[in-house]
Structure 1
């Protein structure tokens, strides 16, 4: 499992881009459009990865905020190190 996620996250876009560039360079007339589509797909995979990571970060920040509020309700002051 540890190898699958990075392979999809980074390996797939690299392979798609490499094949897309190869198609553009060697078979421009007939397969050039497919090369552009593959490069676009690689960009989409990278963007989805970025958005997924941002949503996880946001969820972690919300969880920390909720825990700090629970601490405040219980003790009457914000926890140390939380700002």
Structure 2
């Protein structure tokens, strides 16, 4: 039930807060800040947590699969 402008503002506030925490790739701190921001914007905690984890899976972990497959193929072909 969080409106799109409120979600965008929550995302901007969370990423600004995360800039103060020196973690590689923001792993951990981004998730926590986004969940807190979405709950503060009026969303339920369980749904906010699920949405944030799905977002991070799609934007961080999913792109690693094609890279790993490409690296494996290049090693097998002895290019690398």
Could you say whether these structures have the same fold, taking a TM-score greater than 0.5 normalized by the shorter chain as the test?
Answer: no
| Higher RCO (C-alpha 8 Å, min separation 6) | 2
- Structure 1 or 2: larger helix share? 1
**Scaled by the length of structure 2, what TM-score is found?**
0.44
**Scaled by the length of structure 1, what TM-score is found?**
0.43
